[in-house]
Each structure stands twice: as structure tokens, then as C-alpha cells.
Amino acid sequence: MDISKKFYEDKIAENVKTSNILLKQINIISWSRLIILILMLLIDYLLYKNGEYTSLIVSSIMFISGFIGVVIYHSNKLEAKKRSDIIININKRGLDRLSGEFKKFKDNGSEYLDENNPFINDLNVFGQNSIFQFINSTVTKGGRERLVNILGLKEEVNKKSIVNKQFAIKELADKVEWRQKFILEGSMRKSSDRAIRELIGWGKKGNSIKFISVIISYTFIFVNFVSILLSLMNILPLSFILLVFMIDFIVIKMLTKNMIEDINLFNDIKNDVKEYSEILSLIENETFESEHLKELKDKLINNQVSSKIEMKKISNLLDWIGDSSYNAVYFVLNVLVFSDVFIMRKLDLWKNKNGKYLEKWLDVMNEFDALSSISNLAFDYKNWSYPIILDNSYICGEDIAHPLLGEKAIKNNFSIKNSEKVALITGSNMSGKSTFLRTLGSNLVLSYIGAPVCAKEFSCGIMKIYTCITTRDNLEENISSFYAEILRIKILIEACKKEEKVFFLLDEIFKGTNSKDRHTGAIVLIKQLIKYGGIGLVSTHDLELCDLEKEDDRIINYNFREFYKDNKINFDYKLRQGKSETQNAIHLMKLAGIELS
């Protein structure tokens, strides 16, 4: 049994057992709460009926204290069960990834599909049955955005950064228990819809509370307590206290009128901040060996200011923030001691000390979140390999397979190196040409993000990926699939002319035109791509293109074949050198019932 599969199954079994035990305890505690409440009412009634008022008060205090204790204990057990259930779900998702059932994961990143991107759509980076859907386990909004940028190769890719990420991902893969704690803490609380950028923006703003507001607040608090004292001494009537509180309410509204937006923000994101606090503590408390992870962790401590300590402080402060419109207890507290003013004052002091670090801390958390997702691949697939990053524009691999196809994937060897520039892939319909193009492209993307690839061995240079595999009509812009293909080819040519290191994957180019134009256009394009330094693969049904190999040793031929058994067409999806010698279109027509004679 695979190590990863056994780990997931053991964790599920362990936590299912724990969850069941906790459920029984929770049910017992629930009944205990009801029994305590009934006993309190019964005993208090008997004491009241017998006129034992002192005993009644003592009894009530004891029962209420016991009830509160049981409620707290019950809450702790509910949280413990929730933690076990989350761990169960985390490990079930792990098994789903291994079995290819990741396609049912709801978050597939389809909003990031982009027809104008040179490779994202063709290589299934986002959308249904995509790399994003396969690996994503991020639990923070910023981490998800970071993973999207990484997969989209939005940042400059270089050999040093790739190698550093490889070591980081290897290390995180081995820290599977730690990664699951990371996911657990990020899944415990319901996040708000307010963007993380709003919290960062608050950290860069000026102070909300002026010192004069603090002086005014202290003055009114003093008046409040003096008024209450005088009322208890029967010097002032109760109506005067109510008047004082009404004035307090008006004053608080005046003092905090410029803080309403911040107060609403804090009400919305307090759960997020608590989540960030727990996650940053996990990072800061962990020991890392890889250079990239150590550099990230070092950013969490600035001038002896610790992110875990300071984020815990702001989390505790935000716990005091309450919406006085819905929370009666907080309303009374706010009127009595001007809590909004003093909490915002403390938040200002926190911001003055830590606001400049906040964005950096959250960036570190997001990077760990994204890298942890990528590490799922390294832990789940121990037989995958980390690619060797070359200084030249070569690709060479042994037993290369598509990372999303699981056990169904067929492994092939392939190389394009030295003077070779273009590999022509021929073969009949459904023989595997398009899948192989995507196989190389997907593994290149994984290579550039520091992940292991689905191959026994894989070496590649750093190149910009351009694809033209699936083109569609765009009715809104009145663009046919053929013209869409032409536009993509134009972008590719322009990139080559700019002397970018280009790797292209072209599937059945110029398929929207007649065979003569298609043949002529393909020859001109291939020669032009070679001229401007591009390298890549071109799949085609045009067997005459294979003659280019005789004219130019920079062009090499590969093919896929089919075979027939019991009057049925079969494919082995194995890549072979040389041009295709078989075609299946006529046979497929006959199988469809089309009479050709």
C-alpha cells in the first residue's frame, strides 16, 4: 500500500473513533445541562415556597455556576469534535486525490480561465478537471490568490527560485501532520467576505481616535459612576441615571462617527484575524531547514516584534468588538465605559507598532498556504520526480505521463535537445497526440512552480509556454475558431521575434482551412519558428510534413499508432520515433455505418 494512502486511511480511522466518542460525551453533557436547569428550578421553587431566601440565593449561585461550567465544557467538546471532523474531511480529500476523484471538489478556479493567456486554458491549469482543482487545499483567501498566481506563472521564473521552491516543497511534503494542522486552523472559523486587503489598508491608515476623545471618555465614565453611586445612596433619582446614559450614547456616537467603517470591518473579519493568528503561530513555532522557508519565517520577526504575539493581541482586542445594534450586553458596556473608544484606541496603538509589518506577515502566511497545497503532490506521489532545471532550451524525460490521469496515464519517453527544434507528432484520430502535448505542457508548468512532475526523470530549460490546442468560436466578438487560431499563432511569432525563449505546443494547426493552404501554411510557420529560435511540438494529420525531417535535421518525427482487434480499433498511446504509417478515418466511418462504396 502507498505510504500516503495508508496515512490518510489511518488518520480517518483514528479521528472517526475520536469523533464518535466525543459525540457520546456531547449527548451526555447536553442531558446534564437540562437536568441541572430542572433541578435548579425545582429546588429554588421549594426554597422560595418555604421562605428560605438566603438558601435560595446560595442555591441559585451554585447551580448557575455549575451550569456555566458545563456549558463551557460542552463548548470545548463541540470544538474538539469539529476538529476531528475537519481532519477526517482533509484526509478523505487526500484519498480522493489519489483515486482521481478530485473532479468533485467544488473549487476548480474556473473564474481564472483566460482565452488570452498563452497556455492556461489548453493545459487545464484552471477549471473542471484542472491542476488547480487537483492540488488546491488553501484555507486563506490570500493563499488561494497566491496559488493562482504561481500556477499562472505570473512571476519571473528562474533556476534559483525553482530549486529553492523544490527544497521547500520537499520539506513541507514530509511535514504532513503540520500541514494538516495548518488546514485545520484555517477551516475552524467561518471567514468573512471582506477582502484581506481591507485589513492591510487599515494597517496603513492614520489613527482613528484622537487624544481629546480619550479625555472626554474618561470624563463621562467618571460622571457615570458618580451618578450610579449617588443613585444607590438615594440622592439622585433613577430617571437621572437614564438621562446620563442617553447623553452617553449620543456622545459615543459623536466620538466614533468616523470609526463606523473600521468597527464594521473588525466585526466582519474578527474570525479571519483569529485564524491568521493561529496559522502564524504554527509557522513561527515550526523549525524549517530549506532556505526559502527559513527566509519566509524570518520575516515574521521584525525588530523583536513577533507576529504570533502581536496577532494574538489584535485577535483578543477584536473579541471585545461588538455590534451594539444586536448585542445588548455590549450596548450596556459601551454606554457605561465607552468601550468602543478605548478598544479603538488600543487598536490604534497596535497599528502604530505593527501596521507596517502586517502585509509582510500575511504575505508569508499566503506563501505557506500555497506551497502547502503544491506539497500535496510531493506527499501523494512519491514515485514522481523533481525535474532538473537546465540552462539551455532542452526537454528530456523518461516515463512521462499526464499528471491528472492517474493510473490510466500511459508513460512515454521524449526528448528534444541539441540541434533539434521541432518535433512533428503524427498519428490517427484519437491516438493520443493532443493528450501528449498537454502532458508535456502540464509537466512543464509543474516544473516551473517547484513541484515534482509525473515522470521517472525529467529535465527542462526555462521557457515561455505558448499553446494552440483548443480554439473556439467567439460569438460575442464575431471571431471564428480559425481566426482565433491565427491570433494565437501571431502572438507566438511575435514572442519569438522578441527573442523570448519560447516552447510551443501546436495541435493540428490551420485545421480550419483547405488541405493545400494548411500544408503550405504549416511549412512556412515551422520554418519561421525555427528561424526565430522557438522550440516545440506540432501535431498533424498531414504526413507530407514529415518530409521536412529530410530537409532539416532540426526537425524530428514522432508518431502514435493504432491496431485492430475483432474489427475494433485499439490504441496503445505509445510514442514512437518516425512518421505515422497508419490512418483510421475510413475505418471509423465504416464503424459508424457510413457506406463508402
- Give the tens place of pLDDT for each residue, 37-88: 899 899 988 888 888 878 888 888 898 888 888 888 999 999 999 999 999 9
Q: What does pLDDT average to over the chain? A: 87
Backbone angles phi, psi at 559, to 5 degrees: -150, 160
For the purposes of burial, counting CB atoms within 10 Å of the CB of 314, is it exposed (0-12), middle (13-18) or buried (19 or more)?
A: buried
- Which amino acid type is present at position 160? K
Measured between alpha carbons, how far is residue 493 from residues 17, 114, 420, 482, 503 in Å?
60, 20, 19, 17, 11
Q: How confident is the model at residue 132 (pLDDT cuts 50, 70, 90)?
A: very high
Measured between alpha carbons, how far is residue 254 from residues 222, 223, 267 in Å?
18, 18, 20
For the purposes of burial, counting CB atoms within 10 Å of the CB of 235, is it exposed (0-12), middle (13-18) or buried (19 or more)?
A: exposed
- pLDDT score of 383: 92
* Contact by Cβ (8 Å): 18, 45: no
Specify the DSSP class assigned to residue 325: T
**How far is it, in rounded angstroms, from Cα 364 to Cα 288?**
14
Which 3 state secondary structure label does DSSP give 346?
helix
Which 3 state secondary structure label does DSSP give 424?
strand
* Contact by Cβ (8 Å): 271, 192: yes
Which 3 state secondary structure label does DSSP give 77?
helix
Q: How confident is the model at residue 356 (pLDDT cuts 50, 70, 90)?
A: confident
Range with the lowest mean pLDDT among 331-345, 367-381, 383-397, 472-486? 472-486
Tens-digit pLDDT profile for residues 170-214: 999 999 999 999 999 999 876 665 667 788 888 887 776 777 888
Residue of higher predicted confidence among 372 and 256: 372
